[in-house]
């Protein structure tokens, strides 16, 4: 075996987004494309020699090939040891768990999260730091800067490693340990939740659930936890085999793409509880019988009921939410007497708050919730948290949510996604909205009066770093909001997200359909942004 130095030229499109570098598989398969980005990661890390890294992915197409390349490049670059998931599998929260549990220097996670997979799908690479969380902007900026000038990379010439069996191997001078991807994560979950109570609930014969893994990474985790450890009947986990193309589906746990689960929960003889997770296992959707839990409400309800869960029974230090997430959790935090932080979208912004012990729980409206147990959002953790609350309270999902609304009021909330719209049109829409900001304050739209209009900026309370241009906000005097934001997670065209929120204290109005309750705000958003004109769409691709 020998180290080969390969000459290369920069690719100018390797700027990481909020969750790493995401491109189509065909882009990553270009000669030197993956290698350039991996070498740029290695070149940007200080004191990498002899360190331990964690490596794995969500099982999508190109996952195995990329792992073999990264292993050989790591060996050539002096990495001391790599822990890689068996079969190349590691969910994103499990990767964070393994990084933290082994005191690793960092980790490389291969995933495009909820984006479609397969030969014609997407692929992604993300670097996580030693706390187990996504690399902060100063690290991703250094990686990007290196991609712009890179002229060579190093790779070990050797045979591929057998990823299908747990064991230890040598690759040059580097140790490679193929590990059980599920065991450390399962042990962490056992330390947080009342597994005896959950086992009793799931084997009582009086409670049924369905967990849809969407043929993505959480299948093996869900089967090990729910069916094997907690005793739920075989078949409780559906679509549980990770497939390279996610079975031709879209591994995004929402009401549109998790149709099989939604049909079950809203059909005849529905189970009591339903949940879905995404491609890499960090997102979740929670359903009761014929009842959908909005992710913003979910964060608020987990916060209000955390004392029922062993791992959080001593109270929360604080909570955090992304800016577009509804203010439902803010009122819970106020009642509990704890701080509530509003951050930009992107899980990395929660990392500093968690490390500084300013918060315990955090979440975002895009079906992501998590806590200080890892430094990523965590889909199965959220499912277990909900099950623990349901079992402890002895109430249905719907009863728990409606009881919460009765106590705190309801934040009617919805996100309208316009996916794969022309980038020029999406940018023109944002520019059009922004151009009106000087004249919007005090302007009346029906019953709503504009209190402020701004482009959200965040100053990190831990390190003082400033993140600007994080989303256009239009706030009204009654606390309602309309937010416009272009997503950074897609690979084709642009995704425009429009967030709508209106608070309602009157219990008699809590059963209104969300889109009906928000109809006036939806019309105002169209009036201000001219969405149909700029996107050339009559309606959103997805409404949640």
> Which amino acids are annotated catalytic?
113
Q: Report the C-alpha gap between 91 and 105 in whole angstroms.
A: 18
Q: Which two tokens stand for residue 284?
A: 């979740």
Alpha-carbon separation of residue 422 from 24, 115, 117, 230, 532 (angstroms):
17, 18, 22, 47, 12
Q: Which two tokens stand for residue 244?
A: 């390279």
Q: What one-character DSSP code corresponds to residue 121? A: S
- Classified as helix, coil or strand, 298 is helix
CA contacts within 13 A on the Cβ side of 6: 19
Q: Report the C-alpha gap between 316 and 459 in whole angstroms.
A: 23
Q: Report the C-alpha gap between 295 and 362 in whole angstroms.
A: 12
Asked whether 91 and 217 are in contact (CB, 8 A), the reply is: yes
Asked whether 18 and 135 are in contact (CB, 8 A), the reply is: no
Alpha carbon 56 to its chain's center = 17
Q: Which of 243, 245, 279, 246 is nearest to 109 (CA)?
A: 279
Q: In what order do the strands lie in the sheet with 209-212?
A: 237-238, 209-212, 273-277, 284-288, 291-293
Alpha-carbon separation of residue 470 from 126, 284, 408, 432, 480 (angstroms):
21, 24, 28, 16, 19
Q: Report the C-alpha gap between 21 and 313 in whole angstroms.
A: 38
Asked whether 134 and 348 are in contact (CB, 8 A), the reply is: yes
Q: Which two tokens stand for residue 543?
A: 């409404």
Buried b / exposed e across 155-173, counting CB within 10 Å, b at 16+? bbebeebebeeeeebebbe
In the block, tokens 């056992």 appear at 190
Phi, then psi, of 317 in degrees rounded to 5: -75, -30
Strand ranges inside 360-471, DSSP E: 361-364, 368-371, 410-421, 444-445, 448-455, 458-459, 466-467
Rg (CA), the chain: 23
């Amino acid at each position: 075996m020998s180290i080969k130095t390969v000459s290369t030229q920069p690719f100018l499109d390797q700027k990481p987004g909020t969750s790493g570098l995401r491109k189509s598989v065909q882009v990553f398969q270009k000669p030197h494309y993956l290698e350039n980005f991996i070498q740029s990661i290695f070149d940007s890390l200080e004191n990498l020699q002899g360190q331990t890294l964690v490596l794995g992915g969500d099982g999508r197409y190109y996952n195995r090939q990329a792992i073999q390349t990264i292993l050989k490049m790591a060996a050539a670059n002096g990495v001391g040891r790599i822990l890689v998931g068996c079969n190349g599998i590691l969910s994103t929260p499990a990767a964070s768990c393994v990084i933290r549990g082994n005191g690793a220097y960092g980790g490389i996670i291969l995933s495009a999260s909820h984006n479609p997979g397969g030969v014609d799908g997407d692929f992604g690479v993300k670097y996580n730091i030693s706390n187990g969380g996504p690399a902060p902007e100063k690290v991703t900026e250094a990686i990007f800067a290196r991609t712009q000038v890179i002229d060579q990379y190093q790779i070990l010439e050797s045979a591929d490693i057998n990823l299908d069996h747990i064991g230890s191997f040598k690759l040059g001078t580097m140790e490679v340990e193929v590990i059980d991807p599920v065991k450390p994560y399962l042990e962490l979950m056992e330390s947080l939740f009342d597994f005896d109570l959950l086992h009793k609930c799931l084997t009582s014969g009086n409670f049924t659930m369905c967990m849809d893994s969407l043929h993505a990474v959480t299948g093996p985790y869900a089967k090990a936890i729910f069916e094997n450890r907690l005793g739920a009947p075989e078949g409780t986990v559906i679509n549980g085999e990770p497939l390279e193309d996610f079975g031709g589906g879209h591994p995004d746990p929402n009401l549109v793409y998790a149709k099989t689960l939604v049909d079950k929960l809203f059909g005849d003889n529905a189970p009591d509880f339903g949940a879905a997770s995404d491609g890499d296992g960090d997102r979740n959707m929670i359903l009761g019988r014929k009842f959908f839990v909005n992710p913003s409400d979910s964060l608020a309800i987990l916060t209000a009921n955390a004392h029922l869960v062993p791992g959080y029974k001593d109270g929360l230090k604080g909570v955090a939410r992304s800016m577009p997430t509804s203010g439902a959790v803010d009122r819970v935090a106020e009642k509990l007497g704890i701080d509530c932080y509003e951050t930009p979208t992107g899980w990395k912004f929660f990392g500093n708050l968690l490390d500084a012990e300013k918060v315990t729980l955090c979440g975002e409206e895009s079906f992501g919730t998590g806590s200080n147990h890892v430094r990523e959002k965590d889909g199965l953790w959220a499912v277990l948290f909900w099950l623990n609350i349901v079992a402890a309270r002895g109430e249905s999902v719907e009863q728990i949510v409606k009881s919460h609304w009765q106590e705190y009021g309801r934040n009617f909330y919805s996100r309208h996604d316009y996916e794969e719209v022309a980038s020029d049109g999406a940018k023109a829409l944002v520019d059009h909205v922004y151009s009106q900001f000087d004249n919007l304050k005090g302007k009346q739209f029906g019953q709503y009066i504009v209190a402020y209009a701004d482009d959200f900026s965040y100053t990190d309370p831990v390190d003082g770093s400033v993140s600007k241009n994080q989303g256009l906000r239009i706030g009204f005097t009654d606390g309602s909001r309309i937010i416009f934001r272009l997503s950074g997670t897609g690979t084709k065209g642009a995704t425009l997200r429009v967030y709508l929120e209106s608070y309602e204290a009157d219990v008699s109005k809590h059963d209104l359909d969300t889109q009906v309750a928000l109809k006036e705000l939806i019309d105002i958003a169209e009036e201000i942004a001219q969405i149909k004109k700029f996107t050339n769409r009559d309606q959103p691709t997805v409404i949640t």
